[in-house]
Amino acid sequence: MELAFVYLALILALAIFLGFELISKVPATLHTPLMSGANAISGITLVGALLAAGAGDKASLAMWLGALAVVFATINVVGGYLVTDRMLRMFKPRGSNTAK
């Protein structure tokens, strides 16, 4: 059990380091397309969270953790799309007024 925890902690540490290094090297012009791709992946995460929430019994820990995952995944997806929309509006000319 302890060895598995060490492996998982090592993978987490490497993922944090790699993610930081990759994100810090992304130029601003590529940020919006990468955000859109990340939003699509977050949508898949939301589907997985819904499946996890429905897999447990009525009062099981899996159901509550799945419901919490649904909430966090939804916040992530909605927030990602809002940030992407805001960044895309930054690239539009200032004189163009488009009604929403």
More confident residue, 98 or 35: 35
Q: Cβ contacts of residue 26 below 8 Å, gap of 6+?
A: 34
Residue 31: pLDDT over 80:
no
C-alpha dihedral over 48, 54, 55, 57, to 10 degrees?
Answer: 150
- Residue spans of the domains in the chain: they are 28-90
> 60 with 80: CB under 8 angstroms?
no
Q: Report the chain's mean pLDDT, rounded to a whole number.
A: 80
- Say what percent of the chain tops pLDDT 70: 89
Residue 9: pLDDT over 80:
yes
Least confident of 1-5, 15-19, 90-94: 90-94
More confident residue, 29 or 80: 80
Compute the average pLDDT of residues 79-85. Answer: 81
Q: How does residue 17 score in pLDDT terms, banded at 50, 70 and 90?
A: very high
The structure tokens listed for 52 are 């996890």
Burial of 35 (0-12, 13-18, 19+ CB in 10 A): middle
